Amino acid sequence: MSKIHSTVVISKKANLEKDVEVGPYCVIGDNVKVGKGTKILNNVTIIGNTEIGQDNKIFSGVVIGSPPQDLKYKGEESFLHIGRNNIIREYTTINPGTQNNTTKIGDDNLMMAYSHIAHDCHVGNKCVFANNATLAGHVTVEDEAVIGGLSAVHQFVHVGNLSIIGGCSKVVQDIPPYSTCDGHPAKVYSINFVGLKRSNVSLDTIRQLKTSFKILFHSGLSLPHALEKIKGEFKNPSAELSHLISFINSSERGIAR
C-alpha cells in the first residue's frame, strides 16, 4: 500500500503505482507517473510529462520535470523518462526535453546533491554524478561514467562508457570511453584502470586499451594516423576497443586529448 503524507499535493491526473511513498510537502503534477516502490522524501516537486520507474529514492528538495532552461523553449510539449533504482540526492534538478524531445535517464544511477541534468540529455546506467556535477543541454553520458564534483559539461558533449572526469573540470570536448580525464579544459591522462577492473573487463582487453591510449594520446600522431596504427596493431580488437574506435570516429565536437 502506498504511504502518502497528509500535506502532499497530488494532481488527480497523476498516476502513482502501489507501494510508492511520498513524504511531507511534496508536489506531484499532472501527467506524472511514478513506478512501484519509489520513495519520495520531503519537499520534492515533480511536474510535466514525467515518467519515473520502480524503486527509485528521491531526496529532499529535488525538482524534476520543471521547464527547460533554454531561451528557445516556447512551451512545446516535451518529456522526461527516468528508469529504475536511481538515487537522486538533495536539490538535484532534472529538466525535460525541448520541442517534443525527451530527456532520458537509465537505471542504477547515483546523482549526488545539487547535480543538474539539463534538457535533452541522455544518461545511461550505473553512472555517478558527484556533488554539483552539471550537464548542459543535449549531453550524452554512456554507462558507468563518473563525473566529479563541481564539474561542468558543455552542451552536445558525449561522455564515453566507463570514463571518469575529475572534480572541478571544464569539459568542452567528447570524453573517450575508458579514460581518466581532468583539467580546465579537461584532457585525457590514462585509461580508467580501476573502473575497468571493477567491471570485470579482461586483462587482455585492458592491455589493448592501454596500448591504444598510448598511441592516441602520447605518440604525437594525428587522430586519423593514430587510429590507422591501432587497427594495424590489433587485427582482432575486443568489443571495448571497437567501441573506442567507433566513438572517436563518430565524434562531432572533437576528442579531449
Q: How do the domains of the chain map onto residue ranges? A: 3-138, 196-250
* 137 belongs to the catalytic site: yes
> Which residue out of 81, 119, 158, 243 is catalytically annotated?
119
What residue ranges of the chain have pLDDT lower than 70? 1
Q: For a pLDDT cut of 70, what percent of the chain falls above it?
A: 100
Q: Give the span between the Cα atoms of 128 and 222, in whole angstroms.
A: 32
The pLDDT score that the predictor gives to residue 89 is 98
Decide yes or no: CATH 2.160.10.10 for domain 3-138: yes
CATH numeric code, 196-250: 1.20.1180
Closest among 210, 243, 238, 214 to 226, alpha carbons compared = 214
Catalytic residue among 120, 124, 160, 174: 120
Indicate if 204 belongs to the active site.
no
pLDDT for the residue numbered 82:
99
Check residue 257 and give its pLDDT. Answer: 87
For the purposes of burial, counting CB atoms within 10 Å of the CB of 232, is it exposed (0-12), middle (13-18) or buried (19 or more)? exposed
- What is residue 1's predicted lDDT score, i.e. its pLDDT? 63
Q: Is 120 a catalytic residue?
A: yes
Catalytic residue among 23, 97, 124, 137: 137
